Amino acid sequence: MATSTKYWDKIADKYSKRPIADETSYQKKLQVTQEYFKPDMEVLEFGCGTGSTAITHASHVKQIRAIDISSEMIEIAQGKAEAQGIENITFEQLTIEKLEVEDSTYDAVLGLSILHLLENKESAIAKVYQMLKPGGIFVTSTMCMGDTMGWFKLIAPIGKALGFFPLVRVFSAQDLIKSLTDAGFARQPVARVRCGQALSRVEGTVEGEIEYRWQPSKDKATFIVAKKPE
């Protein structure tokens, strides 16, 4: 854990200045997420980085609690929010593993570009499920490298030991979906997924899938909205 903290603290400033690699896909993910938001919602984001996504969503919900392992990332995020006069986000240096909240606290939890960086994604997903209110949503965008870069599993430990990478876990999209459904997230009709395209939730649904799933291309992150049953 200490190694990962040092890694993200070290790159925080460079990370904050890096342009979004795929702006079109990022905007689509924001739009889909905001379709689920309501003005009275309490939201948690873990692995919030420098706060850009939380800041974008702030006007759509009541309150956001945003946490990250890196104090440097949090400092940058706080500065950005203050500069924009945003007052309904609380930024904290904290990990999902150490977060303590009562069950059924949040209407929505965001875990974006983070699940593949955790020691135990199953434990984190189970914890998210418990902290969500009935009918609440878990939004995640995850690099599932097991689908296209299985070989990375061989070099990831070496890269981490040399300080080139943080902790990285390699798993497939189906592994991720199994972790979500094993935790209890609803299996119900959803959009039929095509590479780079998804039909509406009403038209062309498939039984036995997660609430919403989209992937812009095979080498991109898998975006998922998972819903806790009412």
Average pLDDT for the chain: 87
Q: What is the mean pLDDT of residues 26-44?
A: 98
Quick check: 216 pLDDT over 70?
yes
**81 in any annotated domain:** yes
Q: How many domains does the chain have?
A: 1
Instruction: Report the pLDDT value the prediction gives residue 188, as an integer from 0 to 100.
Output: 56
Q: What's the CATH code of the domain at 181?
A: 3.40.50.150
Residue 221 is part of which domain span?
A: 2-189+217-227
**126 in any annotated domain:** yes
Q: For residue 185, what are the CA distances in angstroms to 1, 83, 210?
A: 28, 37, 8
Instruction: Report the pLDDT value the prediction gives residue 144, as an integer from 0 to 100.
Output: 93
Pick the more confident residue, 49 or 192: 49
**160 in any annotated domain:** yes
Quick check: 129 pLDDT over 70?
yes
> Residues near 228 by Cβ (< 8 Å), separated by ≥ 6?
129, 132, 133, 134, 135, 136, 137, 138, 184, 185, 186
Instruction: Report the pLDDT value the prediction gives residue 136, as an integer from 0 to 100.
Output: 98
**72 in any annotated domain:** yes
Q: What is the mean pLDDT of residues 15-30?
A: 94
55-85: pLDDT as tens digits: 999 999 999 999 999 999 999 999 999 999 9
Instruction: Report the pLDDT value the prediction gives residue 21, as an integer from 0 to 100.
Output: 87
**223 in any annotated domain:** yes
98-127: pLDDT as tens digits: 999 999 999 999 999 999 999 999 999 999
Instruction: Report the pLDDT value the prediction gives residue 200, as an integer from 0 to 100.
Output: 36
pTM across the whole model: 0.86
**27 in any annotated domain:** yes
CA atoms in the 13 A half-sphere facing the CB of 220:
18
**212 in any annotated domain:** no
Quick check: 53 pLDDT over 70?
yes
Percentage of the chain modeled with pLDDT above 70: 80
137-171: pLDDT as tens digits: 999 999 998 877 655 555 556 555 556 666 778 89
**200 in any annotated domain:** no
CB contact at 8 A, 76 and 14: no
Instruction: Report the pLDDT value the prediction gives residue 114, as an integer from 0 to 100.
Output: 96
